[in-house]
Structure 1
Amino acid sequence: MIDRQGTLQRRVRLLVWATIAYNVIEAAVALVEGARVSSTALIGFGLDSVVEVSAAAAVAWQFAAEDPERREKAALRFVAFSFFALAAYVSVESLRALLGLSEARESPIGIGLAVASLTVMPVLAWAQIRTGRELGSNSVVANAKQTLLCSYLSAALLVGLVLNAAFGWSWADPVAALVIAGFAVREGLEAWRGDPCCG
């Protein structure tokens, strides 16, 4: 049993670092491209990647301790605050875009990024959820749900970017961003309550 716990903790660390590496790349591409084409959805997606890196780092910090359970609540609180901050920023920027203060241009790079994330993120999330549940760790499952959220956000981002590119519907971009904000609030509340795991 002790050997299995050690194996699971090593797997958590490996998955966390894989998530961090992918999200650093994803954040850089999304933020630069989002700024270039004035896309609130892409910027929100990039900020979600930054939040995800922060949350993964919090889980890495938790599992660097001899007794990771003692750091569980602090890691969950950090994940929750990260979600709430993301939701607040994206909501404000989306409303500004819907009021006509900015208009997104089409972005083939953003579409490619969304497709790549739809491929990578579900695999990482599934592995994290499975490991976190076996380990009995709410913070690992909360972080995994944040990774899974990235898949939903990728789908919303893809729809918004494709509608803008195909039909010139620039309003689809901030609407997609508001979907991202809504998911972030929901996941933040779950992390705050410590619900994500292990009934």
Structure 2
Amino acid sequence: MPMITGMEKDRLTRRGLRLAWFIVVWDLIEGAVAITAGLIANSTALIGFGIDSAIEVFAASVVIWQLRAGAASRLRPALRMIALTFYALAAYVVFEAVRDLIAQDKAGESLAGILLNVAALIVMVPVALAQRRTGQALGNPVLVAQSTETWMSNYLSISLLAGLGLNTVLGWWWADPVAALVVAGFAAWSGHEAWKEAGEHQAEHPGGS
């Protein structure tokens, strides 16, 4: 990575903080709408998406905590905290989706859920791109990991649109819990990547925390 000046680093850090704060505000609203729509439609995938929004709020808060300090010692614990939230999401969604498949618990139609995920893709794809570019320019793995989480949320939107659309148009009730399992797979993979990144940081900086 090319060296950057102190002024450029400050500018990139401010941009990273603005992106993180935007995610906090967006995901608080998105999560409330998703969970409400999921409860109304009895949709595990939508509820899981809402919980993912809450996890993204926490992860963005971790980014804010790390960027404000500007301390390399905070990189490893920040990455580990983000990884644990991914694992928690994966475990919850797998449990709920398998339960719904076994019980054949049918989700209702959710136009609000479909519209929410379309809006999420329109808004968050540019945010994910900006996060990754900023994190790479800063050489900050926590911000890059947060961008991966934002991309994961975008993938979840696509899988949820497929599941909700099939349920609404064709009545395929099982598409919703199957889409939820896709959510869990992305969450587990992202958790593994963040945890591995934390281990690599520890190996490169054995004296750090």
Which bracket does the TM-score occupy, shorter chain normalised?
A: over 0.9
Matched, 1:99 2:102: yes
* Cα displacement (A) at 1:102: 2.3
What is the CA–CA distance in structure 2 between the aligned matches of 1:105 and 1:42, rounded to whole Å?
A: 11
Where does structure 2 lack aligned partners over 5 or more consecutive residues? 201-209
1:112 aligns with 2:112: no
Match of 1:104, SS state, is coil
Conservation of the 8 A alpha-carbon contact between 2:38 and 2:45: yes
Match of 2:7 among 3, 12, 20: 3
Structure 1 segments of 4+ aligned residues over 6 angstroms from their partners: none
**Which one of 54, 61, 68 corresponds to residue 71 of structure 2?**
68
The aligned counterpart of 1:14 is: 18
Alignment of 1:140 with 2:143, yes or no, is: yes
1:49 paired with 2:43, answer: no
Q: CA RMSD in A?
A: 1.4
Residues 131-164 of structure 1: CA distance to partner in whole angstroms, max 9, x if unpaired? 0000000000000110111110000000000000
1:87-129 residue CA offsets vs partner (Å, 9 max, x unmatched): 0000000001101252200000000001111111111000000
The answer (yes or no) to whether the contact 2:104–2:174 under 8 Å persists in 1 is no
Query: Which one of the candidate residues 141, 159, 163 is aligned to 2:162?
Result: 159
| 1:95 aligned counterpart, secondary structure | helix
Distance in structure 2 (CA, Å) of the matches to 1:50 and 1:27: 6
- The structure that has the greater radius of gyration is 2
> Among the aligned pairs, what percent are the same residue?
48
What is the CA–CA distance in structure 1 between the aligned matches of 2:106 and 2:60, rounded to whole Å? 33
Which aligned pairs between 1:27-46 and structure 2 lie closer than 5 A?
A: 27-46=31-50
Task: Work out the CA distance in 1 between the residues paired with 2:71 and 2:114.
Answer: 39
**Structure 1 unaligned regions, length at least 5:** none
Paired residues, number: 196
**Alpha-carbon separation, structure 1, partners of 2:143 and 2:168:** 37
Question: Paired residue for 1:183?
Answer: 186
Residues 37, 112 of structure 2: 8 Å contact kept: yes
